[in-house]
């Protein structure tokens, strides 16, 4: 875990230093427009101090093979959609930044049918007041969840399909007051010594595969909510702890924009086992990590290459290991080529 955190900070810090002399990217495209000699009139602040916009991309890929010795799907088709909606307000020393990142991707193959490969809803709102050139007092609201159900396609090693996630199953709700350091317009670090976070699992928090959760071997299934450390009878688990959020959004080279956010959370409170009720001492050293990255490479006005990479580590999500009862590092990446537009 220390290595993951160190890598994240080193990467963000390197980008901050190496690119410090470049022009600021606003809305992930202003510098790109300027480099083509196009005056940006879409994402400017209006007379009331608001800057609003939408960035959207739709990627499509199709593949096929025949007698391929190395092994490949006979046919595959994937469709991925990404959207970033933002509304930012500035007035004197007051600012309010709101971003909603949405993504959803499906892949259809001849052997496995249709499965989703990406699914994210991430609302991030930050309100603050500048107290000096590079420092501000801020408050952050963040909500993360997904659109559709996710499944374990080989449940119990028997090829069964069990639901393991869904809309607000789980959802992570964070409220955090703190202080922000912003040395450059494209880079900031927000720190909060005390924040509140809720882990929510609704929409059938038991979600058993077998009737009443009893397997044919007369063993009890683990409720869906318990997979995320939440008592299924309560549906919500509350935490209090320290929070850090580092953000980077910049055109790193001509027509290539990199956007990254690293969130770290350390829970101060002890917990109870969601099944037995046994109480455990607080483990603040077990830091939860959420790291999301997007690279957009503009080819022309309408065509772009998009790469997304997400990394999550949560000590309470125990679905991994040989017995599927241990925490693990979750990663997800997707590369696509398709239509990209803004409005």
pLDDT digits (tens, 9 = 90+) for 251-275: 999 999 999 999 999 999 998 889 8
pLDDT band at 318 (very low <50, low <70, confident <90, very high): confident
Mean pLDDT calculated for residue range 199-217: 94
Whether the per-residue pLDDT at 280 is higher than 70: the answer is: yes
Whether the per-residue pLDDT at 31 is higher than 70: the answer is: no
Whether the per-residue pLDDT at 343 is higher than 80: the answer is: yes
- Do 231 and 225 meet the contact criterion of CB atoms below 8 Å apart? yes
- Do 170 and 201 meet the contact criterion of CB atoms below 8 Å apart? yes
40-67 pLDDT, tens digit each: 445 678 878 899 999 999 998 777 767 5
Rounded CA separation 130/188 (Å): 13
Rounded CA separation 154/4 (Å): 29
pLDDT for res 54: 94
How many Å separate Cα 175 from the centre of its chain?
Answer: 17
Over the chain, what is the mean pLDDT?
86
pLDDT band at 28 (very low <50, low <70, confident <90, very high): very low
Please tell me which of 33-37, 40-44, 207-211 the model is most confident about, judged by mean pLDDT: 207-211
Give the Cβ contact number of residue 41 at 10 Å.
7
- Cβ within 8 Å of residue 250, ≥6 positions away: 15, 19, 22, 24, 25, 186, 187, 257, 258
More confident residue, 13 or 95: 95
Rounded CA separation 317/263 (Å): 17
pLDDT for res 107: 93
Which structural domain range is residue 176 located in? 2-342
Whether the per-residue pLDDT at 12 is higher than 60: the answer is: no
With tokens 């994937």, the residue in question is 78
User: Which tokens is 266 given?
Assistant: 């350390």
User: Which tokens is 275 given?
Assistant: 């099944």
Give the Cβ contact number of residue 343 at 10 Å.
7
Mean pLDDT calculated for residue range 91-96: 95
More confident residue, 70 or 109: 109
Domain count, the chain: 1
How many Å separate Cα 231 from the centre of its chain?
Answer: 24
Whether the per-residue pLDDT at 242 is higher than 60: the answer is: yes
pLDDT for res 45: 80
């Amino acid at each position: 875990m220390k290595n993951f955190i160190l890598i994240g900070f080193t990467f963000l810090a390197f980008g901050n230093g190496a690119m410090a002399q470049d022009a600021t990217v606003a809305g992930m495209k202003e510098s790109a427009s300027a480099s083509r000699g196009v005056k940006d009139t879409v994402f400017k602040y209006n007379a009331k101090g608001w800057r609003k916009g939408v960035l959207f991309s739709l990627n499509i890929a199709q593949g096929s093979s025949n007698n391929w010795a190395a092994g490949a799907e006979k046919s595959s088709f994937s469709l991925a959609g990404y959207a970033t909606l933002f509304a930012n307000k500035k007035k004197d020393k007051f600012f309010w930044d709101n971003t909603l990142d949405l993504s959803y991707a499906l892949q259809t193959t001849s052997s496995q049918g249709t499965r989703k490969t990406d699914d994210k809803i991430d609302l991030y709102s930050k309100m603050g007041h500048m107290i000096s050139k590079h420092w501000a007092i801020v408050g952050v609201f963040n909500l993360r969840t997904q659109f559709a159900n996710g499944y374990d396609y080989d449940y119990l090693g028997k090829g069964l399909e069990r639901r393991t996630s869904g809309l607000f199953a789980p959802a992570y709700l964070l409220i955090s007051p703190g202080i922000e350091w912003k040395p450059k317009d494209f880079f900031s670090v927000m720190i909060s010594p005390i924040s509140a976070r809720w882990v929510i699992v609704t929409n059938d928090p038991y979600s058993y595969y077998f009737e009443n959760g009893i397997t044919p071997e007369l063993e009890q299934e683990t409720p869906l909510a318990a997979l995320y450390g939440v008592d299924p009878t309560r549906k919500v688990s509350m935490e209090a702890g320290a929070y850090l959020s580092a953000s980077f959004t910049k055109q790193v080279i001509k027509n290539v924009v990199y956007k990254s956010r690293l969130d770290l959370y350390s829970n101060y409170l002890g917990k109870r086992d969601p099944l037995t009720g046994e109480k455990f001492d607080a483990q603040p050293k077990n830091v939860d990590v959420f790291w999301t990255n997007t690279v957009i490479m503009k080819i022309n006005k309408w065509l772009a290459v998009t790469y997304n990479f997400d990394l999550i580590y949560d000590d309470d999500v125990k679905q991994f290991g040989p017995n599927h009862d241990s925490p693990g590092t979750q990663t997800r990446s997707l590369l696509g080529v398709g239509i990209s537009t803004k409005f």
